[in-house]
Amino acid sequence: MNDALAASPQDTAPTTLVRAACPHDCPDTCAMHVTVQAGRVIRIQGDPDHPPTHGALCTKVSRYAERSDHPERVLHPLKRVGPKAGPPRFERIGWDEALDTIAARLTAIAGRGPGAAQAILPYSYAGTMGLIQGESMAARFFHRLGASRLDRTICASAGAEGLMATYGGKVGMHLEDYAHAKLILIWGSNSIASNLHFWTFAQQAKRQGATLVCIDPRRTETADKCHQHLALRPGSDGALALALMHELITQDLLDHDYLAQHVEGWPALRERALQWPAERAASVCGLEAGQIRDLALLYGRTQPAAIRLNYGMQRAHGGGNAVRLVALLPCLTGAWRHRGGGMLLSASGWFGPAVDAASLERPDLMPQPLPRIINMSTIGDDLLRESGPDFGPRIEAVVVYNSNPVAVAPQSRRVVAGFARDDLFTVVLEHFMTDTADLADIVLPATTQLEHLDVHRSYGHTYALINQPAIAPVGEARPNTAVFRALAQRLGFDEPCFAEGDEVLARQAFRPDQVDFEQLQAHGWVRLPVPDRPFAEGGFPTPSGRALADHPQLGVPDHIPNYESAESAPALAARYPLAMISPPARHFLNSTFVNVKSLRDIEGEPLLEIHPEDAAARGLVDGSVVEVFNDRGVYRCKAAVNTRARPGVVNGLGIWWRKLGLDGTNVNELTHQRLTDLGRAPAFYDCLVEVRAA
Ligand SMILES: Nc1nc2c(c(=O)[nH]1)N[C@H]1C(S)=C(S)[C@@H](COP(=O)(O)OP(=O)(O)OC[C@H]3O[C@@H](n4cnc5c(=O)[nH]c(N)nc54)[C@H](O)[C@@H]3O)O[C@H]1N2
Ligand SMILES: Nc1nc2c(c(=O)[nH]1)N[C@H]1C(S)=C(S)[C@@H](COP(=O)(O)OP(=O)(O)OC[C@H]3O[C@@H](n4cnc5c(=O)[nH]c(N)nc54)[C@H](O)[C@@H]3O)O[C@H]1N2
Ligand SMILES: [Mo]
């Protein structure tokens, strides 16, 4: 008998079930059941009763224990020894020394006078989406300190502002109602990879006869399973939406009553759409005019018709306008009237009344005048900026938590150069030695979701969730909250809010009339009181209750060409003729999980998908090492020659850790820091490159 299979005393120990929530930056925010035996996690499963999760977890998170038990977890505080230019060398230190060092450094900077603390920058994103281990105690600390404020734009702010400009809030269809649709446009979303629990409802609809159409430059695994796939050029969605409107108008497939009652500014948008016959859009999108006309007829004649956007289309110069245009389509046909009709990009707005962000984050603690704002998407440039009247003080200290900017922020060469400044004091709260932790002065071991308490909202469904800790912290790891509480104490912040424990914070997070905390504890999740078919009779969260086709400040939305395209930059396009997009890999979550071997083995290695015609023209063969390059840098990876890429577009699936790539770089070596039309977001998918054999 194999020894490993022999029963150990532990096998007979009683098990407990802990109600938890997946912390990752994903629309699904699953409810999880964690089974613990003798202080160890032995199983992680989806909650069968939570409607969006329906008992299923993705491949990544069902292996969560492989990540939290990983032999390379950071287990105790570390301090850098040696310069940042060299190989990362660290020495173990105690928590007191780590916290004293950080407190002394931050105090010295902040103590120089009013406004001086702005030289300190928090840098965080959605490594955990938890309201407690995200921006609660951390926000209080940086507000009270008077540190620079971070504009958290790296992911979704173009789309979010597009949605706000149209509907006044980040609101949309109920996830579950997609099961009732007869037509679903999956637009800028690889749902099977990055929104799996939506896909279940789309499948239900498909089994009941619905048509599924995927609109995506890449032939994704989702496109494979749809009835139709329109492989448009990146950044051309606004043109496609305008041409669909053109056809709906000329074929009179409009819901005139819905437009008259529930939409403001339709005549102006109608005027614009009439300038976009299918032929014009076809040449911008790289599609056939017939494909566009057919799609318009299908959309105009099918009810209920639903659109699932994800954030793919808004990572280009005109991303905000594109979202505005696509989001308006259901108003033209009155799709909102029907269960299973309408659109969804983000459901976060439904949590607006429920989440008490002001209590959690305490913006009232900030000094006056309010500290400056630094955009996280231009961190490369900003770390390299000198002090000046427009900018304020040079950034001297960065505290990173829940993020891996060196891997994920655009134009890595600048980001790396910034973090490699020996005069910059960098603290990183992490589970692992990421590319960012490698450039830290102090690394602090953070707890994972299995080890701390949290509460969650979702941007893809309308349930609040709780995450109870399942096991004790691993090694000397501490929750983010504990770190900021301890720093507050060292800096002498004596407001009572700095003494509040995680359970007090968790109880503050949701307003009791919206989410009952006892119920949350007992069930693990609570459904928000969101109306059924919420916009069947208009009632959008704009001041007038009507959707805005024409916005008082922004005007009528339009197609805005990419910064980097043949349309807008012909000379650049002559040198770098291929458009590169870098969407998520299915078995990673941004740069999280890249170090989990079993998942990395499924993804293989960093790849660039290229169409056979483009490969042949450059003499590239499948599996060979290539150099992808532009004026910003060179990135070496393997070519995958296949038709997942459309002609003229290459796909560099992300986001690999730089140090696990072929020569210590990743795809962001090539992306730039120019910002989108709305929301000040990066234009990751608006990027021209050329490829050659290495
Ligand atoms: N497995 C997995 N799941 C994830 C993530 C992950 O990394 N891995 N990331 C999470 C995060 S942070 C987010 S923000 C969400 C959403 O993350 P998104 O970035 O929206 O990711 P996807 O849903 O994959 O959708 C992107 C799709 O848009 C396509 N696309 C690129 N450019 C364009 C364009 O110009 N127009 C159109 N129509 N399509 C375009 C891409 O080919 C891709 O298939 O997913 C989350 N879920
Ligand atoms: N080229 C290209 N670049 C992109 C994108 C793209 O599509 N293409 N996508 C962009 C998008 S949508 C996003 S959202 C960003 C994502 O960028 P990030 O939000 O930085 O996401 P991750 O890369 O997953 O890094 C999160 C880190 O947080 C850590 N973490 C997780 N939980 C905790 C915790 O409880 N405490 C602490 N202290 N740390 C924790 C994880 O270990 C991980 O290293 O990347 C963007 N970058
Ligand atoms: Mo994201």
- CATH assignment of the domain containing 676: 2.40.40.20
Kindly state the average pLDDT of the residues 589-594. 90
Indicate whether 462 belongs to any domain: no
Closest Cα to atom 17 of ligand 1: 311
Q: Report the domain count for the chain.
A: 3
Local structure of residue 267 (DSSP, 8 states): H
Same structural domain, 605 and 634: yes
Same structural domain, 248 and 324: yes
pLDDT on residue 1: 32
- CATH assignment of the domain containing 133: 3.40.50.740
Pocket test for ligand 1, best of 213, 284, 311 (most atoms within 8 A of CB): 311
- Position 253: which residue type? L
Tokens, residue 346: 């983000």
pLDDT on residue 7: 47
Query: Is there a contact between 230 and 291 (Cβ–Cβ < 8 Å)?
Result: yes
162-215 pLDDT per residue, tens: 999 999 999 999 999 999 999 999 999 999 999 999 999 999 999 999 999 999
Query: Is there a contact between 139 and 362 (Cβ–Cβ < 8 Å)?
Result: yes
Kindly state the average pLDDT of the residues 264-278. 98
- Flag whether pLDDT at 654 surpasses 90: no
- Flag whether pLDDT at 4 surpasses 60: no
Same structural domain, 131 and 278: no
- Flag whether pLDDT at 461 surpasses 90: yes
Indicate whether 159 belongs to any domain: no
Local structure of residue 140 (DSSP, 8 states): H
Give CA–CA dist 454/505, Å, rounded.
9
Q: Residue 633 to residues 120, 543, 605: CA-CA distances in angstroms? A: 29, 47, 20
> Peptide bond preceding 369: is omega within 30 degrees of 0, i.e. cis?
yes
Same structural domain, 367 and 300: no
Indicate whether 502 belongs to any domain: no
- CATH assignment of the domain containing 314: 3.40.228.10
Give the SS3 label for residue 649.
Answer: strand
pLDDT on residue 386: 98
10-29 pLDDT per residue, tens: 678 999 999 999 999 999 99
User: How far is ligand 3, taken at its centre, from the CA of residue 233, in Å?
Assistant: 21
User: How far is ligand 1, taken at its centre, from the CA of residue 470, in Å?
Assistant: 31
- Flag whether pLDDT at 3 surpasses 70: no
- Flag whether pLDDT at 33 surpasses 60: yes
Kindly state the average pLDDT of the residues 684-690. 98
Same structural domain, 106 and 212: no
- Which residues form the domain of 433? 78-153+357-446+476-494
User: How far is ligand 2, taken at its centre, from the CA of residue 401, in Å?
Assistant: 10
Longest dimension (CA), the chain: 78
Give CA–CA dist 400/424, Å, rounded.
13
- Flag whether pLDDT at 383 surpasses 90: yes
Same structural domain, 214 and 130: no
pLDDT on residue 598: 87
Binding site membership of 431 for ligand 2 (Cβ less than 6 Å): yes
Give CA–CA dist 261/22, Å, rounded.
41
Binned at pLDDT 50, 70 and 90, residue 9 comes out as low
The angle at the Cα of 586, spanning 582 to 587, to the nearest 5 degrees, equals 120
Q: Residue 38 to residues 64, 279, 472, 473: CA-CA distances in angstroms? A: 18, 66, 11, 14
Same structural domain, 253 and 339: yes
Closest Cα to atom 26 of ligand 1: 312
DSSP per-residue letters across 585-627: PTTSBTTBTTT-HHHHHHH-S-EEEE-HHHHHHTT--TT-EEE
Same structural domain, 292 and 362: no
Query: Is there a contact between 418 and 379 (Cβ–Cβ < 8 Å)?
Result: yes
Local structure of residue 365 (DSSP, 8 states): G
Give CA–CA dist 575/571, Å, rounded.
7
How many CA atoms, within 13 angstroms, populate the side-chain half-sphere of residue 72? 11
The percentage of residues in the chain with a pLDDT greater than 70, rounded to a whole number, is: 99
Pocket of ligand 1 (CB under 6 A): 25-26, 155-156, 187-190, 193-195, 215-218, 220, 234-235, 237, 310-313, 316, 581, 583-584, 586, 588-590, 685
- Flag whether pLDDT at 38 surpasses 80: yes
User: How far is ligand 2, taken at its centre, from the CA of residue 520, in Å?
Assistant: 27
Ligand index nearest the alpha carbon of residue 645: 1
Pocket test for ligand 2, best of 591, 637, 675 (most atoms within 8 A of CB): 591
Tokens, residue 664: 């210590």
Binding site membership of 668 for ligand 2 (Cβ less than 6 Å): yes
Indicate whether 636 belongs to any domain: yes
Pocket test for ligand 2, best of 102, 408, 564, 672 (most atoms within 8 A of CB): 408
Indicate whether 663 belongs to any domain: yes
Same structural domain, 490 and 411: yes
User: How far is ligand 3, taken at its centre, from the CA of residue 583, in Å?
Assistant: 10
Strand residues in 633-693 grouped as ranges (E): 633-641, 649-652, 688-693
485-537 pLDDT per residue, tens: 999 999 999 999 999 999 999 999 999 999 999 999 999 999 998 899 999 99
- When the pLDDT of each residue in the chain is averaged and rounded to a whole number, the result is 96
Kindly calculate the radius of gyration of the chain based on its CA atoms and give it in whole angstroms: 25
User: How far is ligand 2, taken at its centre, from the CA of residue 592, in Å?
Assistant: 6
The percentage of residues in the chain with a pLDDT greater than 90, rounded to a whole number, is: 93
Same structural domain, 257 and 383: no
Binned at pLDDT 50, 70 and 90, residue 6 comes out as very low
Pocket test for ligand 2, best of 72, 102, 125, 415 (most atoms within 8 A of CB): 125
Same structural domain, 597 and 482: no
Same structural domain, 340 and 430: no
**Residue reference for tokens 């079930």:** 17
